[in-house]
Structure 1
Amino acid sequence: MTQRSRHTTALALALALAAAAPLGGCGGGGEQGPKRPQLKPLVIKEQTSSVTQGTGGYVVTWAGVISNPNRWYFGENVAATVVGKDAAGKEVVRMEQPLDAVPPSGSLKFTGQATASARPVDVKLTYKPAVWRQATRIPSAYVPFPISSPNTEKLGNGSHLVTGAVGNPYQKAATSLVVTALLRDKDGRLVGGASTYVDDVHAGAPRRFVLTVDSLNGTGPVARTDITARTWGSSGRPYEELAMSGAISANGARPRTPPFARDRGYQAMPVDRRP
């Protein structure tokens, strides 16, 4: 092979490698999209449980708060597993509770209840990792559901009655919402909670809710009640459908006074009378 032939062959190989390199990096013709960022796991912010004597056994109740540190992703198909063991270490209750979707940069407040045949002395909650799905709207589009007229009343049997109304800030009606009330002591510690469902909530027409918190973890008085509402289901699509319909402006009411005859914000510039 002559010197000229060797140079020609080397040049052809270099051009071929340069052309093939982008194809190999894109994973087959560039069809693969950008890599998903490294997502952080859900964070268990708070959790509590309590056991009380019931008519058919022992009632185990629990409450918790999970937060989503990822700004652009829904945490879906989350589940909590509750296991209770008696003094001998025997498992007396086990329940897997599917949880609702956790919105981007949001939190999930949840409660649950199960019945055990024997009294558990050790109750533990574990969580199944979330399945992540990218949100179709910016985080600010997921407006929280407003709670009005909240009230917590202590009943004679030690339970607490929580009432109020939940509104819908979106133009589309919310078919089903979950209302959760978490009770706290004077130090802000979570001591218990309960949840209920409210259906067919239209904008401008808040729906009343009533729920009862039967047992608490601790004997101190309840100092504060945190009430939130969320869409029901393991997927974030119901929340996204509401966000896609658009939120109603808080100042969207029509003015009730006649317009000004003259714009009060108008001010003429003074005439420059300098020589």
Structure 2
Amino acid sequence: MTQRSRNSTALGLALGVAASLAGLAGCGGEAPRRERPLKPLVLKEQTSSVAQGTGGYVVTWAGVISNPNRWHFGENVAATVVGKDASGKEVVRMQQPLDAVPPWGALKFTGQATAASAPVDVKVSFRPAHWRRAARIPSAFVPFPVSGANTEKLGNGTYLVTGAVGNPYAKAATSLVVTALLRDKDGRLIGGGSTYVDDVRAGSPRRFVLTVDSLSGGAQVARTDIAARTWGSSARPYEELAMSGAVPPSTVKPRTPPFARDRGYQAMPVDSRP
């Protein structure tokens, strides 16, 4: 074999090895994967109401923010609420820190502030979120169940919302926020309120009571949506619960004795049609 032949053979082997390594990297997924850009949070709904109070006018608002990203929490979100009077003068401004928005989920929130004069226009906006990749798959973040919910209209026009919130996780939830959104017969958001419950353990639902003082446009309540979430601008409380694992749907053994014999069955008639 000549020197030229040796060089040609060596070059061919080198090219073949390089091509094989490139193919293995592509098939094995070792090459870095480019992630899609994250989408911003979306303010899907908002409403506000103004009522006369002892120290001025009480401005109440409610809204729903959705997270279109499947694998990331939206953290350190803050809402800015601005109210203006009939002349366009700003009479109330408040920045409200919001809780972390779960992946592929929504955040229901409410708030309240006092103004010296009555605003006729109230707008809610929010600053962009800081993104944090979820430590578990989205299905691991099981929602907190709400039971025994009831909405009652009191004599002074206030709505009283009661119920109980449970914990589907093995670890106790130190603090949860319960938010109730009131809707009219067309499903339109007309008001809401929030409260807190502490030390919620699996199998021991905690009762909550909250009030909604005023509604937008004097509408009638037809439905109440209630949701519970972890408290705080960070996703860590929710992730710690999810990492502890969800408890089985039922952990209570049957207390009644088994049937002495099978109840049997009834055979279906045979179809004798031609």
Same fold by TM-score, threshold 0.5 exceeded? Answer: yes
Matches within 5 A, 1:61-72: 61-72=60-71
Q: Residue 48 of structure 1 corresponds to which residue in structure 2?
A: 47
Matches within 5 A, 1:53-92: 53-92=52-91
Q: Work out whether 1:177 is the aligned partner of 2:190.
A: no
CA distance in 2, matches of 1:219, 1:162: 18
Relative to the length of structure 2, the TM-score reads 0.82
Task: Specify the SS of the correspondent of 1:244.
Answer: helix
Task: Specify the SS of the correspondent of 1:218.
Answer: helix
Task: Specify the SS of the correspondent of 2:132.
Answer: strand
Q: What is the total number of aligned residue pairs between the two structures?
A: 246
Q: CA RMSD in A?
A: 2.6
CA positional deviation for 1:196:
0.3
CA positional deviation for 1:157:
0.8
Q: What amino acid maps onto 1:208 in structure 2?
A: R
Task: Specify the SS of the correspondent of 1:156.
Answer: coil
Q: Work out whether 1:222 is the aligned partner of 2:182.
A: no
CA positional deviation for 1:220:
2.5
Instruction: Tell me, yes or no, if the aligned pair for 2:83 and 2:120 is still in contact at 8 Å.
Output: yes
Q: What amino acid maps onto 2:40 in structure 1?
A: P
Once superposed, which parts of structure 1, at least 4 consecutive aligned residues long, lie more than 4 Å away? 257-264
Superposed CA offset, 1:15-69 (max 9, x none): 9xxx9xxxxxxxxxxxx96443211111211110111111101111100011111
Q: What amino acid maps onto 1:209 in structure 2?
A: F
Matches within 5 A, 1:80-229: 80-229=79-228
Structure 1: runs of 5+ lacking an equivalent? 1-7, 20-31, 265-275
CA distance in 1, matches of 2:259, 2:120: 71
Task: Specify the SS of the correspondent of 2:238.
Answer: helix
Q: Residue 272 of structure 1 corresponds to which residue in structure 2?
A: none
CA positional deviation for 1:119:
1.2
CA positional deviation for 1:88:
1.5
CA distance in 1, matches of 2:32, 2:74: 21
Q: What amino acid maps onto 1:162 in structure 2?
A: V
CA positional deviation for 1:226:
0.6
Instruction: Tell me, yes or no, if the aligned pair for 2:190 and 2:219 is still in contact at 8 Å.
Output: no
Q: Residue 250 of structure 1 corresponds to which residue in structure 2?
A: 249
Task: Specify the SS of the correspondent of 1:187.
Answer: coil
CA distance in 1, matches of 2:208, 2:169: 19
User: Percentage identity across aligned positions?
Assistant: 78
CA distance in 2, matches of 1:229, 1:61: 20
Relative to the length of structure 1, the TM-score reads 0.82
